Amino acid sequence: MEKVEVNPLFAESLECPVCYDFYDPPIYFCQNGHSLCHRCTKISKPCPLCRAPLTQNFRNYSLENILGKVTVPCKYAGCNESITLFERSNHLKNCKFNNNLNCIECDSSEENLIMHLIKVHDYKEIIMQDSGGLRSFSGPQESWLRDTEWPKGVWKFGKSNLIVRALSCSGIFHVYLYRIEREPVFVKLSLDLEDCQFGFKGKLPHISDYQEKSPEPHFNCDVNLLLEKFVKRHEDDEDILRLWIRVSK
């Protein structure tokens, strides 16, 4: 069948009801037949339209076939290509006119990645002084001793926006930091005692490096050593243990 340009009146039928963008295959549907693109099935459980269970067991191949027959122009200024809706997501990611950033959680292409992470993926926004400051990771003792993914955040200081992820894995505490802006960002992380010092100092990788290769943590420390020398009990709750990290440029 010949590929056809999408009719504006028909376009709404090809939009995902969650992200309001064209369906991005593979497409799945709930038990009541509501379709969602694959990105939205990761963040919408159950179905946002009828609350029915939503899994990736039911694939909408008919709708995917339609997407392969309908073409649309690239949405980025300067690009003159027309692509099928089935190919659209891959084209937009690699289009040389695309200045967006891909989300590290759902792989969507975002003009404002910071707001997307905060609103959609519950990243916590932390406003810091231009020069930096102290940041903490807190939790009950058992969360330090088992494999734990700590709450994710965006540290904002000066003109820099840093995506922060921390996890405890196999007895080691890891911190990952990525810059959003294209300009280089140099950061120092430190834990200080009179007889002991740990930390990281150097240029942070860009967030695009997260998707392109396996990320390396910028701070590592043995959890037992942290509990022995650095972690303190929370002043308002003795069951909560808190680790302070100094962040500076």
Average pLDDT over residues 58-77: 88
CB atoms within 10 A of CB 51: 11
Per-residue confidence (pLDDT) for residue 30, from 0 to 100: 86
State percent of the chain over pLDDT 90: 18
Q: DSSP secondary-structure letter at 22?
A: B
pLDDT bucket at 153, cuts 50 / 70 / 90: very high
Dihedral-angle region of residue 125 (phi above 0 means left; psi in -120 to 50 means alpha; beta otherwise): beta
* Distance in angstroms (rounded) separating the CA atoms of residues 32 and 47: 9
pLDDT for 9: 63
Q: What is the mean pLDDT of residues 55-77?
A: 86
Domain ranges in the chain? 4-99, 124-248
pLDDT for residue 244 is more than 50: yes
Q: Which of 23-37, 42-56, 128-142, 216-230 has the lowest mean pLDDT?
A: 42-56
* Residue 42 identity: K
Element holding 62 (H helix, E strand)? helix 61-67
Query: Six-digit token pair at 62?
Result: 């008919």
What does the H/E/C string look like for 9-68?
A: HHHHHHECCCCCCECCCCEEECCCCCEEEHHHHHHCCCCCCCCCCCCCCCECHHHHHHHC
The answer on pLDDT for 142 being more than 60 is yes
Task: Report pLDDT digits (tens) over 34-51.
Answer: 888 887 877 767 888 888
Counting DSSP H helices and E strands in the chain, the numbers are: 8, 18
* Euclidean distance between the first and the last CA atom of the chain, given in angstroms as a whole number: 58
pLDDT at 213: 60
Decide if pLDDT at 1 tops 50: no
For residues 82 and 86, give the distance between their C-alpha atoms in angstroms, rounded to a whole number.
Answer: 12
Q: Which CATH class is domain 124-248?
A: mainly beta
Mean pLDDT of the chain: 84
**Confidence band of 193 (pLDDT split at 50, 70, 90):** low
2 has pLDDT over 50: no
- Spatial separation of the C-alpha atoms in residues 73 and 79, rounded to whole Å: 8
User: Was domain 4-99 assigned CATH 3.30.40.10?
Assistant: yes
pLDDT score, position 196? 52
Amino acid in the structure at residue 136:
S
The verdict on pTM exceeding 0.85 is no
